[in-house]
A and B are shown apart, each in its own frame.
Chain A
Amino acid sequence: MGPNKILDTNKYFIICSNVLGGCMGTTGPSSINEQKNVQYAMNFPVFTIKDMVNLQLALIDNLEIEQLFSVIGGSLGGMQVLEWAASYPEKIYSAIPIATSYRHSAQNIAFHEVGRQAIMNDPNWQLGNYYNEKQKPRHGLSVARMIAHITYLSEGAFQKKFGRDMQSKVLSWGFDADFQVESYLRHQGTSFVDRFDANSYLYITRAMDYFDLTGPYNGELSSAFKNTKCKFLIISFTSDWLFPSSESLAIVKALNKTAADISFIEVNSDKGHDSFLLEVTDFYQILTGFISGAARKKGL
Chain B
Amino acid sequence: MNLLAAETEILAPLASGWFLDNAWLIPVVPAIAFALIILIGKRLPMKGSELGVASMLASLVLSAGAAYQWIQRVNSATEEQFVEPVIKSWSWWRSGGFDFGIGQHIDGLSVVVLFVVAFISTLVQIYSLEYLRGDRRYTHFFAALTLFSGGMLAMVLADNMILFLLGWEIMGLCSFMLIGHWWEEDANSRAALKAFFTVRTGDVGLLVGISMLYFAANDWTQENLGLSGFSIRGISAWALSGEPNSTVIMVAAIALFIASIGKSGQFPLHTWLPDAMAGPTPVSSLLHSSTMVVAGVFLVARLYPVFFVGLDILGSGGNLIMFIGAITIVISAALAFVQNDIKRVLAYSTVSQLGYMMLGLGAGAWLPAVFHIFTHAFFKACLFLGAGSISHSASHHSFDMKSDMGGLRKVMPITFTTWIISTLALCGVFPFSGFFSKDEIIDNVGNNGYNTFMIIGLVGAFMTAAYMTRATYLTFFGEPRGASAGHSSHESHDAHASHGPHESGLLITAPLMILSVLALGSGLLNATPFGESWERMKLWVEPRAVEVVDSTYPGGPGESLFIDVPSAEDSHSKSVCGTATPEKGVCYAPQLEHAKFKWSKAMLSMVIVFLGMAMSWILSMLLFTKRDARLVGLTQRIKILGVGHNFLVNKYYLDDLYEKVIVRSVAYPISRAAYWFNQNILDGILHSISSLTRKLSGWVYQNIDKRVVDGTVNNSATFTKSVGTAAQPTQSGKVGQYGALLFSAAAVAALVLVIINT
Are A and B interaction partners?
no
Chain B residues proximal to chain A, CB less than 8 Å: none
